[in-house]
Amino acid sequence: DGDASEARRANLSAFAPSPSFLCSGTGLVSRGLCHLFNRHVPTAHRSEASSSSVFGKLRCLFGKGPSAGNGVKLTGYYRLRTPLLSHSIGTPLEDRKRLGLRGLLPAGVVPLHVQLDNVMEQLRGKVSDIERYNYLATIQDGHEDLFFAALVNHTFECMPYVYTPTVGEACVKWHKIYRHSPRGLYISLGDRGSIRKILEAYPEKGIKAICLTDGERILGLGDLGANGMGIPIGKLALYTACAGVPPQQCLPVHIDVGTNNMDLRGEAGYMGLRQERVRGEEYDSIVREFVEASQAVYGRSVLLQFEDFGNTNAFRLMREYQPKACTFNDDIQGTAAVVVGGLMASVRVTGTQLSKHRYLFYGAGEAGVGIADLIAEAIQEEVG
């Protein structure tokens, strides 16, 4: 740790959100991820980071190894209980002595690639997708190196269990499969006036990307309230695996303003506020406080990704905070960027300009309107 960890933190602190990392595709993962993130790896480790090995790929995400964002050196039992720091049974013998881990692990040292083979064997043996989701979440909660080794090296196979479509079932059952391990922040109406203190108390201090939801429009499932937290957690896992954003720089957040899902409010195990959603100034004030607190604690360049907000709030929040923050709405702008990017690519194949096509939209939700707006902008730019 010590000087080496400080050097890694200083190196990673240079990261700033940009459109390029938001648009990076999964095709970069298996071959190009290290090149994508190579500039954030200390020079001494670049040859290993560019390696095709499992450990080499992870080094380009974490540097020499993930370090505690709060600068605290953890040893012994509590180090093993910290997913970003624990290398579990892969910890070298000399590190076990130095970090006070002797007696806490079996005597043998199991390389990461062997652990990965075991994980994939167990994953493939599960009988349902939700079991695979829970299994990968268990790995993430204990050993993030291993979790991202699976997601980076087996992206096509693992992504459906980390994010869509399985995350939808996970959100529906969130109050039943809750893991009792802290991940991200749950901020509710009762926290108004204290949000900055909550952010300051969070152990990771170098947050660069926040994915937040109020749970009102989760995928096509509707209002799931606090159960919607599965979406920011899953989305930010993809930030790391597909775009090379260090996991200690990502923060999933749920803002609990109630839920209009009567069935969910009636569930004995539901963990969110058992009240109707607030609207108007009461709603706006907690979102405003969160945005301002995030910028005060993490800097004005912190990325705020609004995810799965209802139509009532999504468009107006996007317009309100575009001039004030580094922000985007994934359902409106992210989807539009992918679709219009595909249309632009088709121009090179067909030779037919965007302005020569006729576009039909089925519905006028966040995605449809966002796509239509961006197509109109692209056509305007094309024809002058």
DSSP per residue, 54-103: HHHHHHHHHTTS---TT-----HHHHHT-TTT--GGG--HHHHHHTT-TT
CB atoms within 10 A of CB 7: 15
Ranking 15-29, 84-98, 224-238, 269-283 by mean pLDDT, the lowest is 15-29
Ranking 33-37, 65-69, 182-186, 247-251 by mean pLDDT, the lowest is 33-37
Give the pLDDT mean for 70-74: 65
Residue 120 has pLDDT above 50, yes or no: yes
Residue 67 has pLDDT above 70, yes or no: no
Tokens of 205: 């201090």
| pLDDT tens digits for range 173-227 | 999 999 999 999 999 999 999 999 999 999 999 999 999 999 999 998 999 999 9
**143-157: b or e for each residue (b if 16 or more CB lie within 10 Å)?**
bbbbbbbbbbbbbee
Ranking 25-34, 37-46, 323-332 by mean pLDDT, the lowest is 25-34
2 vs 88, residue with greater confidence:
88
| pLDDT tens digits for range 326-375 | 999 999 999 999 999 999 999 999 999 999 999 999 988 899 999 999 99
The CA-based angle 163-249-169, given to 5 degrees, is 15
Tell me how far apart the alpha carbons of residues 105 and 350 are, in angstroms, rounded to a whole number: 60
- pLDDT for residue 57: 55
- pLDDT for residue 384: 82
Alpha-carbon radius of gyration of the chain: 22
Tokens of 223: 């209002």
Tell me how far apart the alpha carbons of residues 247 and 232 are, in angstroms, rounded to a whole number: 13
Q: Which of these is catalytic: 235, 239, 298, 321?
A: 235
Residue 35 has pLDDT above 80, yes or no: no
pLDDT band at residue 40 under the 50/70/90 scheme: very low
Residue 54 has pLDDT above 80, yes or no: no
- Laid out side by side, the sheet with 326-329 consists of 185-188, 250-256, 209-213, 303-306, 326-329
pLDDT band at residue 72 under the 50/70/90 scheme: low
- pLDDT for residue 220: 87
φ, ψ at 208 (rounded to 5°) = -115, -25
- Cβ contact 230:164 at 8 Å: no
Q: Is 235 known to be catalytic?
A: yes
Mean of pLDDT over the chain: 85
Tell me how far apart the alpha carbons of residues 222 and 204 are, in angstroms, rounded to a whole number: 31
Tell me how far apart the alpha carbons of residues 99 and 50 are, in angstroms, rounded to a whole number: 28
- pLDDT for residue 70: 47
Q: Which of these is catalytic: 57, 133, 161, 163?
A: 163
Ranking 26-30, 116-120, 304-308 by mean pLDDT, the lowest is 26-30
pLDDT band at residue 73 under the 50/70/90 scheme: confident
Residues β-bridged to residue 254: 186, 213
| pLDDT tens digits for range 271-304 | 999 999 999 999 999 999 999 999 999 999 999 9
Percentage above 70 pLDDT, the chain: 81
Measured CA to CA in angstroms, residue 116 lies from 55, 122, 143, 230, 354 at distances of: 11, 10, 11, 24, 45
Q: Is 362 known to be catalytic?
A: no
Percentage above 90 pLDDT, the chain: 79
H or E element in which residue 327 lies: strand 326-329
